[in-house]
Amino acid sequence: MKLSRLIAMAFAGAALTAGTAIQPVVAAENPYERGPAPTNSSIEATRGPYAVSTKTISSLAARGFGGGTIYYPSTTADGTFGVVAISPGYTAAQSTIQWLGPRIASQGFVVITIDTNTRLDQPASRGDQLLAALDQTIADTTVRSRVDASRQAVMGHSMGGGGTLEAAKDRRSLEATIGLTPWNLDKTWPEVEAASLVIGAQNDTVAPVSSHSIPFYSSLSNAERRSYLELRGASHFAPNTSNTTIAKYSIAWLKRYVDNDTRYEQFISPGPSPSLLNGISDYRID
């Protein structure tokens, strides 16, 4: 069951125990909230409030995926953090999505960017590998004291983005998925319960939004929440280089649904108005 649903149930239970006299329920401080109150500048920055350390997982040491790099907040003062695994796309290496690792970790997450077992692995395999990477990160002797295993999310580009949906289909406990110009032959995902953000690219000719991102978004009928953001004038490979729009809305989504941090709702709903100035051609949320 999703974290936010559990919290809502706890509040409802508190109301029932108040007896016949109806008392206002005062929400407890969110125990998963990390970092200062966000601003546009803070989530657009290339580095957030946390210093980041790294650990390399070699292909020989990896169990079920092709190796990777773990990025994690250096401090232990703030307790544990949610964990995010990120996959590259078809024929691509970890290096193509590695920029996201330190950027997201510096906002208060443990992140693993991965190489896949082969460059040709299909979305279902990439989904399995994302879950394997989450499991190995959670158990890793260096970072396990920093990880809250109950708060997991996946991200991926292209076939890796299609793999995020496969992972969420297989592991219903995932809190969030983010697909970056995702590709998958399966177009319908009613099995996915995780809050799901789909980021498409207006000029994508590899995974055109009309046959990939938008159908994926439209089919997520049972997701805790779903959103579609389209990058104006961008190609399929926009996620392969540092991109402030991708980072900003990915961070807001992870904070909102992995950390249950409502301070980030302001960036999600009503969300950005598409314009030439902000580089967004479409935005939907429901």
* Among 202, 203, 72, residue whose Cα is nearest residue 138: 72
- What is the number of residues in the chain? 286
Query: Cβ distance 283 to 198 under 8 Å?
Result: no
Whether 204 sits among the annotated catalytic residues: the reply is yes
Residue 86 near residue 114 (C-beta atoms within 8 A): yes
Structure tokens at 177: 């998925």
261 catalytic residue (yes or no): no
Q: What is the DSSP string of 31-68?
A: TT--SSPP-HHHHHSSS-SS-EEEEEE-TTT-SSSS-E
Is residue 157 annotated as a catalytic residue, yes or no?
no
Tell me, rounded to whole angstroms, the distance of Cα 94 from its chain centroid.
Answer: 17
Give the active site residue among 106, 125, 158, 219. 158
Q: One of 115, 157, 213, 236 is an active-site residue; which one?
A: 236
**Catalytic-role residue among 121, 140, 204, 261:** 204
Q: List alpha helices for 187-264, DSSP H.
A: 213-219, 244-257
Write out the catalytic residue numbers.
158, 204, 236
